[in-house]
């Protein structure tokens, strides 16, 4: 889409008040038009198929499926639609997952009132947009990080994520929701972690996590 052209936008967020606020920000601009709203991943897919918007502003936390799944389905329904993720998650792991799913931009909600219009225009023009606080993290090589290892070998990146979540006291269901995976997958990762590190209890796992620098000294653990 040529920069400066009229941009048709759809919004997906499960909170009506958020959608109204986003619509108000966008429609204050002469070149931006909101053509529809959705509150679930299923509604987003149907809206994308019906309206073929230029940009879909997508929340990650939806009631029926994750925004990651919704992004994939929206792109299938309307391949020309570009997706701008708008989320509370200021986290490189979420950023990477969003772009892997087909998103073209990633913006933190707390900055939406200032940066939303710029992000939408940039994504609509065919460029990527990444929230400034995340910098060039998407394109930069993974920084070397201490990965715990034990008799069974070194943990994978995802296993480290699961280990950190376990260490701060999240349940398997909470971890599954946060990482957009099934509870069964979390259970499998947990078993692999215990096998690799040869630990039996969460207290032992927390000690490993602290020694590896995965937890701050002031991180509360149950």
Give me the residue spans of the domains in the chain: 7-134, 149-211
pLDDT at 140: 52
Bigger pLDDT: 145 vs 129: 129
Plot region of 124 (φ>0 → left; ψ -120 to 50 → alpha; else → beta): alpha
Q: What is the largest CA-CA distance in the chain?
A: 62
134: exposed, middle or buried (C-beta count within 10 Å: 0-12, 13-18, 19+)?
A: middle
Q: What is the mean pLDDT of residues 192-202?
A: 86
- Tokens 């959608």, located at residue: 19
pTM: 0.64
Q: How far apart are CA 101 and CA 135, in angstroms?
A: 20
pLDDT tens readout for residues 18-41: 999 999 999 999 999 999 999 999
Judge whether residue 222 has pLDDT over 60.
Answer: no
- With a CB cutoff of 8 Å and minimum separation 6, the contacts of 2 are 125
Judge whether residue 60 has pLDDT over 80.
Answer: yes
Q: What is the mean pLDDT of residues 166-194?
A: 87
pLDDT tens readout for residues 49-58: 999 999 999 9
- Per-residue confidence band for 135, with pLDDT thresholds at 50, 70 and 90: low
Task: Choose which CATH entry (3.40.50.2300, 1.20.1290.10, 3.40.50.10800, 2.102.10.10) describes domain 7-134.
Answer: 3.40.50.2300
- 7-134 and 149-211: identical CATH topology: no
- With a CB cutoff of 8 Å and minimum separation 6, the contacts of 216 are none
CATH 3.40.50.1380, applies to 149-211: no
Average pLDDT score, the chain? 84
Bridge partners of 56, per DSSP, are 10, 83
């Amino acid at each position: 889409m040529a920069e400066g052209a009229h941009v048709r936008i759809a919004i997906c967020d499960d909170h009506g008040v958020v959608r109204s606020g986003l619509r108000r920000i966008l429609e204050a601009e002469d070149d931006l038009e909101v053509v529809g709203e959705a509150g679930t991943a299923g509604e987003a897919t149907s809206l994308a198929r019906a309206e073929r918007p230029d940009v879909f502003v997508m929340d990650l936390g939806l009631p029926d499926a994750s925004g990651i799944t919704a992004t994939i389905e929206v792109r299938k329904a309307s391949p020309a639609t570009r997706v701008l993720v708008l989320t509370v998650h200021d986290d490189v792991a979420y950023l990477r997952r969003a772009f892997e799913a087909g998103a073209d931009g990633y913006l933190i909600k707390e900055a939406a009132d200032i940066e939303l219009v710029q992000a939408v225009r940039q994504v609509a023009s065919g460029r990527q947009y990444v929230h400034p606080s995340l910098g060039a993290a998407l394109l930069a090589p993974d920084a070397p990080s201490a990965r715990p290892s034990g008799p069974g070998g070194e943990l994978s990146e995802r296993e480290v994520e699961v280990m950190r979540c376990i260490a701060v006291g999240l349940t398997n269901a909470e971890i599954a929701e946060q990482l957009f995976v099934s509870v069964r997958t979390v259970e499998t990762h947990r078993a692999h972690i215990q096998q690799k590190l040869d630990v039996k209890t969460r207290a032992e796992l927390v000690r490993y996590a602290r020694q590896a620098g995965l937890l701050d000294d002031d991180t509360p653990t149950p």
